[in-house]
Amino acid sequence: MTTANTEPKAHSHGLGQIPVSKLDTHGSYDVAAFPVPNGREEEWRFTPVRRLKGLHDWKGTADGTDETVVDAPEGVTFETVGRDDERLGKAGLPVNRVIAQAYTSFEEATVVTVPQSLVADKPITIDRQALGGTAFEQLVIDVKPMAEATVIISNTGTGVRAGSLDVHVGEGAKLTLVSLQEWDHDTVEVSQHNARVGKDASFKSVVITLGGDLVRLSPRVSYEGRGGNAELYGLYFAGDGQYHEHRSLIDHNVSNTRSRVDYKGALNGSGAHTVWIGDVIIGEGTTGTDSYENNRNLQLTDDTRVDSVPNLEIFTGEVAGAGHASATGRLDDIHLFYLRSRGIPEEEARRLIIRGYFLDIVNRIESQELRDRVMEKVERKLAAHE
Amino acid sequence: MTKFEIRGLRADVLISEDERQEILKGVDLTINSGETHAIMGPNGSGKSTLAYAIAGHPRYEITEGEVLLDGENVLDMEVDERARAGVFLAMQYPVEVPGVSMSNFLRSSVTSVRGEAPKLRQFSKELQGAMKNLSIDAAFAARGVNEGFSGGEKKRHEILQLELLKPKVAVLDETDSGLDVDALKIVSEGINRAQADSDLGVMLITHYTRILNYVKPDFVHVFSEGRIAESGGPELADVLESEGYERFAKAGA
Ligand SMILES: Nc1ncnc2c1ncn2[C@@H]1O[C@H](COP(=O)(O)OP(=O)(O)OP(=O)(O)O)[C@@H](O)[C@H]1O
Ligand SMILES: [Mg+2]
C-alpha cells in the first residue's frame, strides 16, 4: 500500500520541487512531447509496459475494427467526423504518450450532441464490440446547456484500443456517463476521459472495469464555472493476471465547485493487480471547493497486489472541505462467521458480502437491468476462485 | 427429544499469530430439549467464549473435549453446518454486515437451514408476522444486517432469527442486556414462543435475574474461571443476586 502524497515532492526529472499531481496536468497533442515510457517513470511505474502490445512506442498500423450499435432518444444527434472537426480535442490535452498517439493517429471521430434543454427520456447507449486489431479513437459527448442525459457505453470484445472520450457538460446541464469495460481476457485499453463541467452543471461518471488483460483509464475533470459538480464512481474487479489502473484527476480550477470520487475494487486470483491514483488539485486563488475522495480494495486471495495513492494538493487557504480515505483489506472473517452461523454456506456468505461491498457503487447506475448485469458478472468473477 | 452435551471442553482465545490464552478449562453441561439452563458468572469468566466455541468462532480454538448434538460431534462440523444441524447462537454483540440487507440475509439463512427456498409470498408473510411479534418495524428488513441498529434492536433481531430458524438448541448470550423493560418482556416472549414451538433447549447466559422472571430456568449454573463452579435450581439465581460471585471465584481458584 502506498501512502498519500499531500506535500509537494522532489522529482527525478530535474524539474525540482513539483507536486506529484502536476505530472498529470501537463499534456500535449504531440507524441514527441512524451519520451517512450520504460516503466520507471512516476506515471508509468505501476503499469506493465511490456503488456501494452506496442501502444507505448507505436510503430504499426491501426488495423482494428469495431462493431458498434447505437441507440439514442429523439433529438440526440450522432455524427461521424474527420480529423479537422473543430469540436475535437477541446476538453483536455492528452497526458501521456499513448493518448497523444491516439490523437495523432485516429482517422474518424464520433460526436454525440444533446441539444440545449433537451431532457432525454431514455439513455443513449453505445454498445461497442472490438473485433481485434489495434484502433485509435475519439468520442465527444456534448451536452448543451440545461440538457439532461444518460450515456451508457459498453465495451466488449478483443483488441487493442486507445483514445479519448471528451465530455462537455454545458451550463446547468446534467450528464450521467456509465462506462463498462467488459473486455475479453486478452484486450488492452488505454484511455482518457476528459470532462469539462459548466457553471451549475452536474457530471456523474460510473466506471465499471471487469475485463481486459490491461486497462488503464484516466478520468479527468475540470470546471468552466462556479457551482459545477462532479461525481466519479468506480468498480473494478481484477481476476487472474488482470491489470486494472484508474487514475483520476479533479482540477478545481474554479471557485465553488464540488467533487466526489469513490472507487471500490476487488482482486481475486493469482497476479491480479489494481492501481488507483486519485489526484485532486484545489487551484490557487479559488474559494469554496468541496472535495472528497475514497478508495477501497478487497483482496480476496493472497497472490494479488493493490496500489492506492490519493494525492490532494491545495494551493489556497479557502477550502470548504477536502479529504481523502484509502483502505485495503481482506474479507472480514467475523462478517463471514456471522452469516455462516446462521446456516449460510461459505460461498454464499462470500457472495452476499461482496455484493454488499459493491452495492453503493452499483446503485449509482439507474437501470435495474444494468445493475443486475454488473452484479452477475461480479459474482461470476468471484466464483472463479471458490 | 434432543440431547446437547458439552463434555470436558477446553478452549483458547487466539490473541495473535503466536499468542493464545486458555479460557475454558473443562466445561461439562447437558441440555435436554425443552430445558432452560441459566448460566451466570462474573465478567471475563469465559461465558461468551463458551458460546463462541460452540458456534465455531474463528478467534477461538478448542483444545479438548466434545460438544455433541444427539451424539454427533458438533466440533467436527463447519460453522454453517452446525447451524443447519440445529445449534443457534444469539450473540452478545451481534455483527454488523454492511450492504447485506436484513431481508436477503434472512431469506438466505432460512433457505439454507430449511434446505429449500420458502415461497417468496409465504416467507414475507412469515417474516412480517415474526417481526410484528417482536415489535420490529417493517422498515428494518431493508436495512443492512445490524447496520447502525441500537443495542436493543440488535438483540430483538437475534431473537427474530431464533424464531425463523427453529433450532434444536439455542445459546443466548446476554440477550437481555441493553433491553428496556418493555423490550425485555417482548424478547422473553419470543424465547418462550420458540421453546413452546419446537421444544427448544436453551442456554441462557445472563447477569440479571430480571429475565428469569419471564424465562423460567430449570437449572442455574455458576460459571467461574472457565468452568461451571456450581449448579442448582432456580433458587440459586436469587442467592447469586444477593451474595455475588465471591465465594465461587475463590472456590475455583
Ligand atoms: N483477544 C483477546 N486477548 C486477550 N484476552 C482476551 C481476548 N479475547 C478475550 N479475552 C479474554 O477472555 C476472557 C473471557 O472473555 P469472555 O468474553 O468469554 O467473558 P464473559 O464471561 O463473557 O464476560 P462478560 O460477562 O463481561 O461478557 C476475558 O478475560 C477476556 O479478556
Ligand atoms: Mg460475555
pLDDT tens sequence across A183-220: 999 999 999 999 999 999 999 999 999 999 999 999 99
pLDDT tens digits for range A306-325: 999 999 999 999 999 999 99
pLDDT of residue A6: 36
Scan for cell 472456590, then name that residue.
B251
Which residues on A lie below 8 Å from B159 (Cβ)?
A: none
pLDDT tens digits for range B40-79: 999 999 999 999 999 999 999 999 999 999 999 999 999 9
What is the 3-state secondary structure of B106-173? HHHHHHHHHCCCCCHHHHHHHHHHHHHHCCCCHHHHHCEECCCCCHHHHHHHHHHHHHHHCCCEEEEE
Which of A4-8, A90-94, A338-342, A359-363 has the lowest average pLDDT? A4-8
Which residues on B lie below 8 Å from A378 (Cβ)?
A: none
Contact B99 A359 (CB under 8 A): yes
**ipTM of this complex prediction, to 2 decimal places:** 0.97
Probe target for ligand 1 pocket from B12, B43, B203, with the most ligand atoms within 8 Å of CB: B43
Distance in Å, CA B141 to ligand 1 centroid: 32
Reported as type and span, the H/E element at residue A346 is: helix A346-362
Distance in Å, CA B173 to ligand 2 centroid: 7
Is residue A57's pLDDT more than 50? yes
Q: What is the CATH number of the domain that holds B218?
A: 3.40.50.300
Nearest CB to A356; choose among B55, B80, B97: B97
Distance in Å, CA B47 to ligand 2 centroid: 5
B118 touches A: beta carbon within 8 Å: no
Instruction: Give the integer Cα–Cα distance in Å for B79 and B96.
Output: 18
Query: Would you place residue A8 in the very low, low, confident or very high pLDDT band (cuts 50, 70, 90)?
Result: very low
CB B222 less than 6 A from any atom of ligand 1: no
Is residue A131's pLDDT more than 50? yes
pTM of the entire predicted model: 0.89
**Is residue B122 in a domain?**
no
Which residues on B lie below 8 Å from A333 (Cβ)?
A: 58
**Is residue B196 in a domain?**
yes
Q: How far is CA A47 from the centre of its chain?
A: 15
Output the residue whose Cα is nearest ligand 1's atom 10: B13
Ligand whose nearest atom lies closest to the CA of B208: 1
Is residue A276's pLDDT more than 90? yes
Nearest CB to B89; choose among A333, A341, A359: A341
What's the rounded mean pLDDT across residues A266-289? 96
CB B49 less than 6 A from any atom of ligand 1: yes
B79 touches A: beta carbon within 8 Å: yes
B115 touches A: beta carbon within 8 Å: no
Percentage of chain A beyond pLDDT 70 is 93
Output the residue whose Cα is nearest ligand 1's atom 4: B15
pLDDT of residue A119: 97
> Is B235 exposed, middle or buried, given 0-12, 13-18 or 19+ CB atoms closer than 10 A?
exposed
Nearest CB to A353; choose among B91, B100, B113: B100
Residue ranges of chain B with per-residue pLDDT less than 50? 251-253
Closest approach of A378 to chain B, Cα-based (Å): 15
Output the residue whose Cα is nearest ligand 1's atom 28: B44
Assigned C-alpha cell, A329: 483489506
Ligand whose nearest atom lies closest to the CA of B15: 1
Query: Would you place residue A22 in the very low, low, confident or very high pLDDT band (cuts 50, 70, 90)?
Result: low
Beta strands A188-197 and B36-40: pairing type? unpaired
Which residues on A lie below 8 Å from B102 (Cβ)?
A: none
Which residues on B lie below 8 Å from A337 (Cβ)?
A: 55-58, 79, 95
Output the residue whose Cα is nearest ligand 1's atom 18: B46
**Is residue B224 in a domain?**
yes
Closest approach of A234 to chain B, Cα-based (Å): 17
B104 touches A: beta carbon within 8 Å: yes
Probe target for ligand 1 pocket from B14, B16, B23, with the most ligand atoms within 8 Å of CB: B23
Instruction: Give the integer Cα–Cα distance in Å for A248 and A217.
Output: 8
Distance in Å, CA A336 to ligand 2 centroid: 20
CB B224 less than 6 A from any atom of ligand 1: no
pLDDT of residue A1: 38
Residue pairs between chains A and B whose CB atoms are closer than 8 Å = 82
Structural domain containing residue B61:
3-98+169-252
CB B46 less than 6 A from any atom of ligand 1: yes
Q: Phi/psi class of residue A132: alpha, beta or left (left: φ > 0; alpha: ψ in -120 to 50)?
A: left
pLDDT of residue A9: 33
CB B93 less than 6 A from any atom of ligand 1: no
Which residues on B lie below 8 Å from A357 (Cβ)?
A: 98-99
**Is residue B205 in a domain?**
yes
Ligand whose nearest atom lies closest to the CA of B90: 2
Strand partners, B242: none
pLDDT tens digits for range A225-263: 999 999 999 999 999 999 999 999 999 999 999 999 999
Contact B109 A343 (CB under 8 A): yes
Nearest CB to A356; choose among B84, B91, B98: B98
**Is residue B77 in a domain?**
yes
**Domain total for chain B?**
1
pLDDT tens digits for range A343-375: 999 999 999 999 999 999 999 999 999 999 999
